[in-house]
Amino acid sequence: MRKAAVKKVILFTLAVIITLLNVAPLIWVALSSFKTRIDIFAMPPVWIPEQWRVQNYIDLMRLHFPYLLNSLIVTLISTIGVLALSLPACFAMAVFPFRGKRDLEMWFLSARMMPPVAAAIPLYLTFRQIGLIDTQVGLIILYIGIGIPLAVWLITSFMRTIPPDIMEAARVDGCKWHQIFFRITIPLSAGGIATATIFLSIFAWNELLFPLFLTSRVAKTFPVVLTSYQGQTQIAWELMCAGATIQILPIIILTFFVQRYIVAGLTLGAVR
């Protein structure tokens, strides 16, 4: 018992240390967003600001709120679009046998192997030709195309863990395939769908490369705004920290609300 208790204390201590190492920079950024630039560079360091400078957020929103709204719209619509197109495909690949299914799965997976920068020039030329440069629609279409392979590969593996006997019993009871899809498969795959949603949202929300060269003024997203605070002579650290805090918060909130589905999904099949 004593060895087990000591082992438990050691593991807990390591977990606390690793958590602090990962969370401490985020806390420092969040606190710095309420400081002046002088306080950020003060020695010894000023951990808690004496006066909380909310003006940093006011200045940031006054100048760049439309670009934050662009990020929200693009992330929300592209994530919903990926799930709407991927879920039927996942259901078909997990349930129905058909010729070439294995090759199709590998094709989906291979689409994730190409580095995005390799498609930068062809995408720019194509989008310019069809008039999608500096548009939200262009970014949404692009993110949907990039996100589908990941969603199909991830969610299909969760749907395959559903016992076939459940679907066979539903068919015997008279359920149509679309009823099995909506009433059985999707609820039982909630963990995988939540996990895919997190990954898709993080990608669309944080993606910098494509908006950097596919947008200029109208459809520019918030990550591009953060790069504008680094100049040749100085860096507006207080505004950059405020922007980084705003950039982090939506993903934290989303993860908080779907964490139980993620845990259920990640542990699905661990015990049989």
In order, the DSSP letters of 63-103 are HHHHHHHHHHHHHHHHHHHHHHHHHHHHHHHHH---TTHHH
| Gap between the Cα atoms of 226 and 222, Å rounded | 7
Model pLDDT, residue 265: 54
What token pair was written down for 211? 């908006």
Provide the b/e sequence for 38-71 (b: ≥16 CB within 10 Å).
ebbeeeeebeeeeeebeebbeebeeebeebbebb
Domain ranges of the chain: 59-266
Examine the pLDDT at 10 and tell me if it is beyond 70: yes
pTM of the prediction? 0.85
Model pLDDT, residue 108: 79
Model confidence pLDDT, tens digit, residues 70-96: 999 999 999 999 999 999 999 999 888
Residue 174: which region, alpha, beta or left (left: phi > 0; alpha: psi -120 to 50)? left
Q: Mean of the pLDDT values across residues 33-45? A: 85
| Gap between the Cα atoms of 206 and 47, Å rounded | 27
Q: How many CA atoms lie within 13 A of 202 on its CB side?
A: 12
Model pLDDT, residue 82: 96
Q: Domain 59-266: give its CATH architecture.
A: Orthogonal Bundle (1.10)
Model confidence pLDDT, tens digit, residues 90-142: 999 988 888 887 888 788 778 778 888 888 899 999 999 999 999 999 999 99
What token pair was written down for 119? 């498609």
H-helix segments, 215-236: 222-227
Model confidence pLDDT, tens digit, residues 198-240: 889 999 999 999 999 899 889 999 999 888 887 666 788 888 8
Confidence of residue 1 (pLDDT cuts 50, 70, 90): low
